[in-house]
Amino acid sequence: MKTLRVVMVVVLAAAAACGPDASNNEGGGDDSPVPDAPVSVQVDAPPATTAGEPGSACACDADCADEGGNDGVCISGVCMTKATGACASAGSTTECPSGSRCWSLDGSDVGPLCWPDCSAHTCAGMCDSDGSCVPTQQSNCEVTCGSACACTGDAQCGMGNRCVQGECVPEMTTGGAPGMGPGPACPGLPARDCTGTGCGSLVTFNPRTNTAWDDYAINGETAANQYRSYLRKDLQMLVSYATSVTACKTATWMTGNGGALGLGDMSEAYGAIPGTSVGSPGHPAGTHVNGYDIDLAYYQTGTANNRLRAICSHMNGTQDAYHCLANPDKLDVWRTALFLGTVFESPRTRVIGVDGKAGPMILSALDTLCDNGWLSTAACGNVALAYETTNMGQGWYLHHHHHAHISLKSASALPPASPLQTGKKRVPGRDPGIHRVR
Ligand SMILES: [Zn+2]
């Protein structure tokens, strides 16, 4: 096993993104049993013994020497080189100079890398279980000049952006940002957590529609036969609670439409993927089964209601790109962030996936809502928002321009996938594709 710290990449039976051609669900979430350590700041990594050599410390790509046809690159404070092509296999040597082996970096678009062997190089980081020199949890580099670094301050992120937990995200100053929370007390909310028996039984929303949620007929359903709208009772309770909190707390917000949140595909009555009974499963195998998953609209602005629809430009001419090509212009980022943040209150929430353009905006808004007291400490410490700004095959990149996807943790989990299987290594302290605000 080659994970660099105790992170379980759990591929649950019901745990992955949705969308018809999210062909690879592996890594569609991270079910870490331990809270993430904060991304620490240490731009001044330990002094290197041989400047520029693979394994030596760096702040910028320019600090790292090329080796033949392999370009030097700075990865979280450790010099490596880029592979000349995709890794033929995990740890292959043909794409790398001698003394380095090929793996990708999970969650990064830097491309395949040549990870220095500790046996061949002096290592400024630490040696992992297969003898590669890897960054430590504390090491970092300059985001402005290194290929895989965490930001440490807003100034590094450029105009209009801010740094949230190592990531540059857009500053959300428009759209009627709410002031200080926590807002109204909201008595009489539906219970958040399911206790006792029957929490795993498949149920429907009751009522179908109220001022908080809107489980309308979608994707071939009729009002008389909402066959795609069954979910676990515990997930139904959580969504009922979080939409009710949102309706109450945001009642006076001047952002977006207000109103109920549209609900999309869940599972079929006996737990099958929606569409199975009509011969057309609408989601990849392993997703939307047994009521662990639900698709939900984004809260919107400038539309008639908050039902599932694209919140952004997603067409390349006549070709649908199936993801946002520009920042969303119909997203009520504040209500969406308050709603998703409320879902994160529950320790049962595994991951919420959103579009790669919406994700950074929502993360930024979540951070502000946490700072301003709208969300609880527990919620702010449990933010597990998944999005892919480039397609890394985790299943979130496509088909989330018109909905978010909530996945609940299962009671039991499968063993983690090892880097031998995935061909990817990780940087300690960073969850690939999973973005956290606290
Ligand atoms: Zn889904």
Ligand 1 centroid – CA 24 distance (Å): 14
Residue pair 264/274 in contact by the 8 Å Cβ criterion: no
Does 400 have pLDDT greater than 80?
yes
Ligand 1 centroid – CA 285 distance (Å): 12
In a domain? residue 33:
no
pLDDT digits (tens, 9 = 90+) for 382-395: 999 999 888 878 88
Which residues lie closer than 8 Å to 200 by C-beta, 6 or more apart?
232, 233, 234, 291
| Cα-only R_g, the chain | 22
CA distance 165 to 156: 13
- One domain, residues 361 and 225: yes
CA distance 342 to 239: 9
Q: What pLDDT score was predicted for residue 433?
A: 67
- One domain, residues 179 and 106: no
- One domain, residues 313 and 203: yes
Ligand 1 centroid – CA 226 distance (Å): 17
Residue pair 418/130 in contact by the 8 Å Cβ criterion: no
In a domain? residue 304:
yes
175: left (phi over 0), alpha (psi -120 to 50) or beta: left
- One domain, residues 201 and 96: no
In a domain? residue 6:
no
pLDDT digits (tens, 9 = 90+) for 96-117: 999 999 999 887 778 899 999 9
Q: What does pTM read for this prediction?
A: 0.81
- One domain, residues 178 and 128: no
- One domain, residues 127 and 182: no
CA distance 382 to 351: 10
- One domain, residues 78 and 198: no
- One domain, residues 254 and 206: yes
Q: What pLDDT score was predicted for residue 163?
A: 92
CA distance 385 to 83: 30
Q: What is the DSSP letter of 33?
A: S
Helix axes 233-249, 333-343, angle to 10 degrees: 140
Residue pair 105/427 in contact by the 8 Å Cβ criterion: yes
What's the number of domains the chain is made of? 2
Does 22 have pLDDT greater than 50?
no
Ligand 1 centroid – CA 294 distance (Å): 6
Does 189 have pLDDT greater than 70?
yes
Residue pair 148/61 in contact by the 8 Å Cβ criterion: no
Ligand 1 centroid – CA 347 distance (Å): 20
Q: What pLDDT score was predicted for residue 391?
A: 85
Work out the pLDDT band at 429, boundaries 50, 70, 90.
low
What integer best gives the mean pLDDT of the chain? 85
Q: What is the DSSP track for 187-198?
A: TTPPPSS--SS-
Mean pLDDT of all residues in 61-72: 95
Report the CATH number that the domain containing residue 249 is assigned in CATH.
3.30.1380
Ligand 1 centroid – CA 211 distance (Å): 23
Provide the sign of the torsion angle of the four alpha carbons 214, 380, 138, 409, taken in this order: negative
Please identify, among 134, 150, 180, the residue that sits at the C-terminal boundary of a domain.
Answer: 134
Residue written as token pair 């220095």: 116
Longest dimension (CA), the chain: 72
- One domain, residues 205 and 126: no
Residue written as token pair 């050599």: 53
Does 203 have pLDDT greater than 80?
yes
Ligand 1 centroid – CA 318 distance (Å): 25
pLDDT digits (tens, 9 = 90+) for 340-355: 999 999 999 999 999 9
First-to-final CA distance of the chain: 28
In a domain? residue 5:
no
Provide the sign of the torsion angle of the four alpha carbons 171, 176, 178, 183, taken in this order: negative
Ligand 1 centroid – CA 117 distance (Å): 41
Provide the sign of the torsion angle of the four alpha carbons 243, 246, 249, 253, taken in this order: negative
Does 29 have pLDDT greater than 50?
no
Residue 349, beta-bridge partner list: 408
Ligand 1 centroid – CA 289 distance (Å): 10
Ligand 1 centroid – CA 385 distance (Å): 14
In a domain? residue 167:
no
CA distance 374 to 31: 26
Domain of 103?
A: 61-134
**Other Cβ atoms within 10 Å of 279 Cβ, number:** 6
In a domain? residue 225:
yes
Please identify, among 134, 154, 188, the residue that sits at the C-terminal boundary of a domain.
Answer: 134
pLDDT digits (tens, 9 = 90+) for 250-303: 999 988 999 999 999 999 999 999 999 999 999 999 899 999 999 999 999 999
In a domain? residue 176:
yes
In a domain? residue 115:
yes
Work out the pLDDT band at 177, boundaries 50, 70, 90.
confident
Work out the pLDDT band at 14, boundaries 50, 70, 90.
very low
pLDDT digits (tens, 9 = 90+) for 210-244: 999 999 999 999 999 999 999 999 999 999 999 99
Residue pair 327/364 in contact by the 8 Å Cβ criterion: no
More confident residue, 184 or 394: 184
Ligand 1 centroid – CA 225 distance (Å): 20
